[in-house]
Amino acid sequence: MQLHISPSLRHVTVLPGKGVREFIKVKVGSRRLSYRMVFYSLLFFTFLLRFVFVLTAVDTIDGERKCSTIGCLGKRLGPRILRRKLESTVPEVIYQVFQEAVSQDEIQGPGVPQTFDEFVAEMKDSRLDAKSFAVKLKSMVTLLEQKTRTAKIQEYLYRHVASSSIPKQLHCLALKLANEHANNANARLQLPSAEMVPSLVDNSYLHFVLASDNILAASVVASSLVRNSLRPQKVVLHVITDRKTYSPMQAWFSLHPLTPAIIEVKGLHHFDWLTKGKVPVLEAMEKDQRARSQFRGGSSAIVANNTEKPYVIAAKLQALSPKYNSLMNHIRIYLPELFPSLNKIVFLDDDIVVQTDLSPLWDIDMNGKVNGAVETCRGDDKFVMSKRLKSYLNFSHPLISKSFDPNECAWAYGMNIFDLEAWRKTNISQTYHYWLEENLKSDISLWQLGTLPPGLIAFHGHVHVIDPFWHMLGLGYQDNTSITDAESAGVIHFNGRAKPWLDIAFPQLRRLWTKYVNFSDKFIKNCHIRPS
Ligand SMILES: *[C@@H]1O[C@H](CO)[C@@H](O)[C@H](O)[C@H]1NC(C)=O
Ligand SMILES: *[C@@H]1O[C@H](CO)[C@@H](O)[C@H](O)[C@H]1NC(C)=O
Ligand SMILES: *[C@@H]1O[C@H](CO)[C@@H](O)[C@H](O)[C@H]1NC(C)=O
Ligand SMILES: *[C@@H]1O[C@H](CO)[C@@H](O)[C@H](O)[C@H]1NC(C)=O
Ligand SMILES: *[C@@H]1O[C@H](CO)[C@@H](O)[C@H](O)[C@H]1NC(C)=O
């Protein structure tokens, strides 16, 4: 759409296309008409800006707006643009109309034009007075604005649903494997076999821990880890899963062994430490999950709020997302207790792919620190690498602001080296628990998103920064990541919504993950899991 106004404001030309042109090309000739035409033109101009604004709002509505009502926009833009001669030409009545609240009836009333074309047609046919003109204009723009907003929120809701639900193919895989577990003795092998059990507590092996309830994802992490390992016979992978996924997970790894690597599959219910007596953190997490499911009335109440900005709604939906708060995500805070004999482990998330031999991670001198992690505030990718403590914690809260520096660099979960020996000398787990309780007490106002924020707090001062090569983030966040960069990273992490096992994954990045899925496998095939 093009808008042209002659300097004298004698012509206002808009070129949106067919039919509209003649109407808008207003010639302000006659003296008698000029005032009226001038303010109509002005209004029109204001309106068009607004209209263009509404159109662009689809892209920018996420951000802050300086002006969120049409009255405000009109007042700001109108007089400034036309200040020279026309200061007094816009009657107060127009501003009054713009500034009055619009009732829902007005917007839904029969007289409101639904589109720009309708509006133009109506203006052409009827000679409205200033007030009716303004009312009509305002109703229409408000209506368009509401439509845009609704569309945006729907989009967020769909994305939320798409990223938090389990695709039916993955569900199918779990069911088929559970069935296999029940009917096929080969799917119930002790993992690892009896003669390999001593290696599970032997610190001369390289121990990796993966906590996941997603079998396909776990299989990709495992096979990418083992295939890229220079000494797979030294690799021990401890797969931790929940009670419901235990049998299918065991079936998968019984039928798909990655020898000579050693794989252990364990359900949470197999850990003595978690089952005997009360574990305070588990209790806190249960409370946390309960609180979150009621948080702000749940997702329907959040979406129903029609005064909130769409991006705020998106953030609130995300806070409810089960994947950020699942036990599988919190479990890493118990690593020293879950693996009492081990000194050092590498903890892997299930949305990563290993692309290189990871044994050099054991040679990194951690300087007595507990957690080896990559930083997330420096790097070429400004979008992904812009995370500081203030990105995760609520610094408006005195408890946070008095304890931490908002500009301190954040670090990432996904691929961490944990020195369990050093960890056992700290009170990191108690600190974690303490802050989870504080967050609950303050009605989830210290942070909203899952397990990284309390991790940032608990590991504060205990982090050793490792080279970004070891952990490249952002592949589920945006598709800007160049495939060359991704290919050259040691570990890639599909953090973000676009998980590689979902339809919403970015196709060009997804193949780095699908590379490790065997599409000829009968379970994969029978569940219609396809390369794209
Ligand atoms: C909508 O959100 C605003 C801002 O958080 C809040 O003040 C208002 O009470 C909410 N309205 C409803 C109906 O929940
Ligand atoms: C993607 O890259 C382009 C060009 O480098 C940049 O302009 C754009 O802002 C980036 N998008 C995101 C989401 O980072
Ligand atoms: C952790 O230990 C430090 C020093 O040993 C102490 O100052 C701090 O209060 C402890 N935190 C918790 C939550 O126990
Ligand atoms: C941040 O903390 C302040 C102060 O307690 C609180 O009013 C605000 O709601 C919190 N923000 C969020 C997003 O929870
Ligand atoms: C993929 O699965 C097929 C069928 O089970 C098997 O024959 C083949 O060896 C597997 N390929 C790899 C690379 O594991």
- The DSSP annotation for 235-293 comes to EEEEEEE-HHHHHHHHHHHHHS--TTSEEEEEEGGG-HHHHSS--HHHHHHHHHHHHHH
Q: Give distance in angstroms: CA of 178 to centre of ligand 5.
A: 21
- From atom 2 of ligand 4, which residue's Cα is the shortest distance away? 397
| Alpha carbon nearest to ligand 1 atom 2, residue | 308
Distance 449 CA to ligand 4 centre (A): 14
Poorest-pLDDT segment among 62-66, 101-105, 382-386: 62-66
The yes-or-no verdict on residue 31 having pLDDT over 50 is no
Mean pLDDT (whole number) for 300-320: 71
**Closest CA to ligand 1's atom 4:** 308
pLDDT at 129: 74
Positive or negative CA dihedral for 314, 319, 320, 326? positive
Residue nearest atom 4 in ligand 5 by C-alpha distance: 521
- For residue 112 the two structure tokens come to 């409101």
As a three-state string, the secondary structure of 37-61 is HHHHHHHHHHHHHHHHHHHHHHHHC
CA separation (Å) from 254 to 185, 232, 241, 248, 509? 10, 17, 15, 10, 29
CA of 191 to the centre of ligand 5 (A): 21
The Cα-based distances of 134 to 69, 92, 142, 148, 253 in angstroms read 14, 11, 12, 21, 69
Task: Determine if ligand 3 sits within 6 Å of the CB of residue 434.
Answer: yes
CB atoms within 10 A of CB 69: 17
Q: Which residue has the tokens 């953030």?
A: 315
% of the chain beyond a pLDDT of 90? 42
Instruction: Kindly report, residue by residue over 321-336, the tens digit of the pLDDT.
Output: 655 556 777 788 889 9
Give the residue extent of every domain in the chain: 1-31, 35-81, 92-162, 165-526
Short-list 306, 24, 23, CA closest to 142: 306
CA of 519 to the centre of ligand 5 (A): 8
364 vs 69 pLDDT, higher one: 364
How many CB atoms are located within 10 Å of the residue 224 CB? 22
* Residue 105 pLDDT class (50, 70, 90 cuts): low
Determine how many CB atoms are found less than 10 A away from the CB of residue 262. 25
178 C-alpha to ligand 4 centroid (Å) = 45
- Does the C-beta of 398 come closer than 6 Å to ligand 4? no
Greatest mean pLDDT range, 127-131, 275-279, 282-286, 409-413: 409-413
Comparing 311 with 447, the larger pLDDT belongs to 447
**What token pair was written down for 359?**
């044994």
Asked whether residue 139 carries a pLDDT value surpassing 60, the answer given is yes
CA of 307 to the centre of ligand 1 (A): 7
* Mean pLDDT, rounded, for 173-196: 92
Ligand number with the minimum distance to the CA of 380: 2
Confidence at residue 408, expressed as pLDDT on a 0 to 100 scale: 94
Determine how many CB atoms are found less than 10 A away from the CB of residue 40: 19
Q: Among the atoms of ligand 3, which is closest to the Cα of residue 430? A: 13
Q: Which numbered atom of ligand 4 lies nearest the CA of 400?
A: 2
Ligand 3 center from residue 207 Cα (angstroms): 29
Sign of CA dihedral 42, 43, 46, 47: negative
Question: What separation in Å is there between the alpha carbon of 529 and the centre of ligand 5?
Answer: 15
Query: Per CATH, which fold does 165-526 belong to?
Result: Spore Coat Polysaccharide Biosynthesis Protein SpsA; Chain A (3.90.550)
* Least-confidence region, from 184-188, 245-249, 313-317, 426-430: 313-317
pTM attached to this predicted model: 0.72
Mutational pocket test of ligand 2: of 60, 62, 383, the residue with most ligand atoms within 8 Å of the beta carbon: 383
Per-residue pLDDT, averaged over 467-485, amounts to 89
Q: Which tens digit of pLDDT belongs to each residue from 418-463?
A: 999 999 999 998 899 889 888 888 888 898 777 889 999 999 999 9
Pick the atom of ligand 1 nearest to 301's CA: 14
The residue whose CA is least distant from atom 1 of ligand 3 is: 427
- The pLDDT value recorded for residue 276 is 66
What's the whole-number mean pLDDT along residues 371-376? 96
366 vs 162: which has the higher pLDDT: 366
Ligand 3 centroid to residue 141 C-alpha, Å: 57
520-531 pLDDT tens trace: 999 999 999 988
**pLDDT score recorded for residue 421:** 96
For ligand 1, atom 11: residue with the closest CA: 305
CB of 511 closer than 6 A to ligand 4? no
Instruction: Say which range, 233-242, 364-373, 429-438, has the weakest mean pLDDT.
Output: 429-438
Question: Closest Cα to atom 6, ligand 3: which residue?
Answer: 427
CB of 478 within 6 A of ligand 2: the answer is: yes
- Rounded to the nearest angstrom, the distance between the alpha carbon of 434 and the centre of ligand 3 is 10
Q: Ligand 1, from 68, 153, 299, 307: best to mutate by most atoms within 8 Å of Cβ?
A: 307
C-alpha span between 379 and 402 (Å, rounded): 28
Higher pLDDT, 8 or 248: 248
Q: Over 90: is that where the pLDDT of 118 sits?
A: no
Identify the DSSP state of 408.
S
Q: What is the mean pLDDT of residues 31-45?
A: 54
Count of alpha carbons within 13 Å of 498, Cβ hemisphere only? 17
Alpha-carbon distance of 381 to 401, in angstroms, equals 28
Mean pLDDT along residues 221-233 = 97
Can you state the angle between helices 168-183 and 243-255, rounded to 10 degrees? 70
Q: Where are the alpha helices (DSSP H) in 331-470?
A: 335-338, 389-392, 398-401, 420-424, 428-441, 452-458
